Structure 1
Amino acid sequence: MACSVTLGRKRRGDVWEHFEYQEAEDLTECRVVMIDGEKCGHTLKGKNTTNLKRHLKKIHTDIQIPERTPQKPKRKPSSIQMYNENAPEQRCKEQAIAQWIGRTGLPARIVEDEEFIQMMGSMDKKFNVPKRQKILNLIENMYIEEKGKIKRSLSQARRVTTGLDIWTKKGLTASFLGVSACYFNPESNKAEHKLLSLKELAHPHTGEAIGALVEESMAEWGIQRDKIITTITDNGSNMVASFRSEATGTSDCSEDEHSEDPNDYDVEGEDERSVCV
């Protein structure tokens, strides 16, 4: 089979430089000049460029047609400049999200949800939605800061009333002791009621176990025993026993006191029960 010969570098160009389309017959004829000086003359049905390139690659190997790669449309550069991580607008919104998640108990991973990100973008296109770990760190810092404020107000309070109650999960799978404090805050000039702790109470719910958790909570928040004027709870025998055991322990440590004083704590009955909030 005759072939075309070209000296020097291989020729490059458009595929239609080597073919001619005959519209009347819907045929495409190869016009490549062979070594004997005659045209190739091979005809192909239609004008599909893929078939034309395949013919050149198979018969006229000295001719190369560069493959054209489709160009992706260039994206227009965004004209929106995002907030810097230390910008007041960025930090204010991050704090608001952390407070919302911390107070509602929602999972922190919600900030990585696609729908949440779209919602925040519709509100402020400049806002960078923080990741889950950053929200957790912000919640931890907010808790430490708020706890410090409450401890300072408790230290300034002259008297404190505590409230206790026990909650049991459905099915009696676990129980929790809630401890709250009510006091007058001289800074805000109003009474405040704070939930200090909500800790699991191991079975059995003896007076000693309850007293130990109460003492642990009082120590954590820096509340001295002489500040507590009243403890409000139900009239359960274990609740009453927990305070009587503390009163007994206090009197045993002193040589001048030989009997327990049930008035060390004022324990209200069921009619005065208060729910910790």
Structure 2
Amino acid sequence: MSSKSVLEHFTVPDDFQNGNTFKGKCMHCGTLISGSYKVTSNFVTHMKRKHRDLYILHSENKEIQPTLTQCIKKSVKYSPSDPKQLEMTNALIMFIAGDLLPLSIVESEEFKNLMEKADTKYQVPSRKHLSSKLLHEKSVEIKNNLVNTLKRAESVCFNH
């Protein structure tokens, strides 16, 4: 129970000055408890001892602050232009195209789990992004490389 939320259960005199102590009257039993806005432990203790059910109910509704590790784990991903992100996305495209796999593989929970285990920072591209942009870019790149290779060749032999 936070310091502000515990004071919701007490009436506070209108004439008190911020920082000073005051006697708050419990709205549930009428008991006067001394405290201040800065030091609310007396109010919390009263709620724990005299109105346990209300205290527990209010505590369960409290949002739990995530730990530093949880925050870092959730938020740190490669940026779209990060060399590692680009390298892994290129490998993913070659994997899908090379083995003629369906694009829906990137939507598979098992595949997402595999990629999370491989590199927690990697963001798997969506199926739509793969089909509308990434595969097209890769095919243009491969075509241009092939055209440049053929331009440099003195002769080419095609067998049927």
**Aligned pair partner of 1:134 in 119, 126, 129:** 129
- Report the RMSD for the aligned CA atoms in angstroms: 2.8
Structure 1 unaligned blocks of 5 or more = 1-10, 19-48, 51-64, 165-277
Q: Distance in 2 between matches of 1:78 and 1:67?
A: 27
Q: How is 1:18-33 mapped onto 2 (pairs within 5 angstroms)?
A: none
**Aligned pair partner of 1:112 in 107, 110, 113:** 107
Partner of 2:66: 75
Count of aligned pairs: 107
Partner of 2:120: 125
8 A contact 1:111–1:130 mirrored in 2: yes
Q: Deviations over 1:147-197 (max 9, x none)?
A: 111122223323222223xxxxxxxxxxxxxxxxxxxxxxxxxxxxxxxxx
**Aligned pair partner of 1:12 in 14, 19, 27:** 27
Q: Give the letter aligned to residue 71 of structure 2.
A: S
**TM-score (ref. length: structure 1):** 0.34
Partner of 1:163: 159
**Deviation for aligned residue 1:66:** 9.8
**2:87 is the alignment partner of 1:92:** yes
Q: Distance in 2 between matches of 1:112 and 1:142?
A: 20
8 A contact 1:94–1:135 mirrored in 2: no
**Deviation for aligned residue 1:119:** 0.8
Distance 1:115 1:161, change over 3 A: same
Partner of 1:154: 150
Q: Distance in 1 between matches of 2:56 and 2:90?
A: 54
**TM-score (ref. length: structure 2):** 0.56
Point out which structure has higher relative CO (alpha carbons under 8 A, 6+ apart). Answer: 2
Q: Which runs of 4+ in 1 moved over 4 A?
A: none
**Deviation for aligned residue 1:106:** 0.4
Partner of 2:35: none
Q: Deviations over 1:54-100 (max 9, x none)?
A: xxxxxxxxxxx899453254433422321111111111111110111
8 A contact 1:82–1:128 mirrored in 2: yes
Structure (1/2) with the larger strand percentage: 1
Q: How is 1:182-193 mapped onto 2 (pairs within 5 angstroms)?
A: none
Q: Deviations over 1:101-120 (max 9, x none)?
A: 11111011211211111111
Structure (1/2) with the larger helix percentage: 2
**Deviation for aligned residue 1:12:** 3.1
* Largest Rg, 1 or 2: 1
Q: Give the letter aligned to residue 97 of structure 1.
A: L
